[in-house]
Amino acid sequence: MRKLFTLLVFISSFCSLFAQTLFVPNGFSATGIGSSTVSGQIGIGTSSPNSLLHLYSASPNGTVARFESASTNGRIYGIGSNFITGNGEFGIYDYTSSAERFRISSAGFVGIGNNNPLFALDVQGFGSRVLNPSTSANAYTTFRLQGPNYSNGLEIDFFGNNNIPTDPNWTYGGGVGSVAIVNVNPKPLTLGTNNVGRVLIDAAGFVGIGTYTPGNLLSVQGTASLGTVFQQKITTGAQTLALGANSTAAEIQSQGAVPLYINYGGNNVIMNATGGNVGIGTATTGSYRLAVAGKIAAAGEVRVFNTGTTSFPDYVFAPDYKLPTLEETEKYVQENHHLPDVPSAAEVEKDGMSLNDMNVILLKKVEELTLHLIEMKKQNEELKLRIGNLEKKGN
């Protein structure tokens, strides 16, 4: 009883400090102490307390309670609304720093470091932390946002020393020290800017950029003028790999005057940086649009179009064409050891040969041979006729 009386005297002194009346249950009396109308409940500023301890300020902007420490670094805090403009709100005020620390608005919004909360929880200030101290298995959820119609929601999980998931279906963690942002519901997770969704991960794990319906592990979609949709740039130079498309074409491009390699280490395919010449198995394309180091196989048809640089040898059959005689050809072969117009073995070894030119040369030789055969056939027919006439005379 003595302890209770001492407490009441202390509370009475507290009330005197803030000019409030202390109301206690019947049976206690002291200067400045009134009787509470509710048995077993104490009121400060009200004679009708509705809880074990009821603090009431008659002023709409009054401090209901004040906490002060006498220690060297003690701070003074007030609970109430004398520092709040407007009614129906509650706050905690730091008198030492002259700053409000906590606010509950008339709409029920809670502000921490923010005296005008606009959301259910509105935190303002440098540095905020949500700590999950548990090391128990599966106790890894640090923060969750959840809607009214779903049993799960958006989770931000940190995996500490021992709280790695044991459920094999929850293997999204990257091991100890990793962090995961997960929509636990079988629904998409979307990231956006400017109030527009930009990246979507659907429930199957497909990622869509610019599309809400990705049909592959990565689907990128944009307007016809989108251009480059992927770009990798080397920080130490101008080399850039770009991949993009528009309404008329798709492209993989090396930007920065460097070649485009497919399988760089093996020189499998190289596209020259300036002229676009392609090398397969070689990086030395020279002036050729396609340079291949190795064998080439083709199934089907290989077609070469004459661009006008080589005349097809139809002129061999022209009336004014001077057909080399077999004697002239024999003499040339004896002197040069190869046919006229045909490159020598040494020339081919040094400079290679043009398949187009060689085919034209071989066709020309076939046509010349054809003319010789026609002429020889005529001579044979003439000889056969003369032999037949001689045989008739001899009989």
Co-location of 171 and 197 in the same domain: yes
Measured CA to CA, the distance from residue 271 to residue 18 in angstroms comes to 86
In this structure, the number of other CB atoms found within 10 A of the CB of residue 249 comes to 7
Tell me the per-residue pLDDT of 365-382, one tens digit each, with 9 for 90 and over.
999 999 999 999 999 999
pLDDT at 108 over 80: yes
210: exposed, middle or buried (Cβ count in 10 Å: 0-12, 13-18, 19+):
middle
Q: How far apart, in Å, are the Cα atoms of 85 and each of 56, 82, 94, 122, 223? A: 18, 8, 16, 18, 51
Close Cβ partners of 53 (under 8 Å, ≥ 6 residues apart): 41, 42, 43, 44
274 occurs within a structural domain: no
Measured CA to CA, the distance from residue 49 to residue 37 in angstroms comes to 8
Co-location of 386 and 360 in the same domain: yes
Is pLDDT larger for residue 3 or for residue 159? 159
Mean pLDDT along residues 165-173: 55
Closest CA to 33 of 56, 7, 6, 15: 15
What is the structure's pLDDT at 17?
Answer: 43
Measured CA to CA, the distance from residue 372 to residue 368 in angstroms comes to 6
Instruction: Tell me what the pLDDT averaged over the chain comes to.
Output: 77
Measured CA to CA, the distance from residue 324 to residue 365 in angstroms comes to 11
Give the count of domains, the chain: 4
**Domain ranges, residue 355:** 313-394
161 occurs within a structural domain: yes
Tell me the per-residue pLDDT of 178-203, one tens digit each, with 9 for 90 and over.
777 888 888 899 999 999 999 999 99
- As a whole-number percent, the residues of the chain with pLDDT over 70 amount to 73
Measured CA to CA, the distance from residue 353 to residue 359 in angstroms comes to 10
Co-location of 159 and 52 in the same domain: no
How confident is residue 14, by pLDDT bands cut at 50, 70 and 90? very low
Co-location of 19 and 97 in the same domain: yes
Q: Where are the alpha helices (DSSP H) in the chain?
A: 2-17, 326-336, 345-351, 355-394
- Mapping DSSP onto H, E and C, the string for 296-315 reads CCCCCCCCCCCCCCCCCHHH
Return the beta strands (E) in 108-259 as ranges: 110-112, 121-123, 141-146, 153-158, 179-183, 189-193, 196-201, 207-209, 218-220, 227-233, 240-245, 250-255
Co-location of 13 and 114 in the same domain: yes
Q: Which of these three, 214, 235, 266, is where a domain ends?
A: 214
SS3 call for 373: helix
How confident is residue 24, by pLDDT bands cut at 50, 70 and 90? low
Measured CA to CA, the distance from residue 115 to residue 102 in angstroms comes to 7
Close Cβ partners of 383 (under 8 Å, ≥ 6 residues apart): none
Co-location of 118 and 14 in the same domain: yes
Co-location of 119 and 232 in the same domain: no
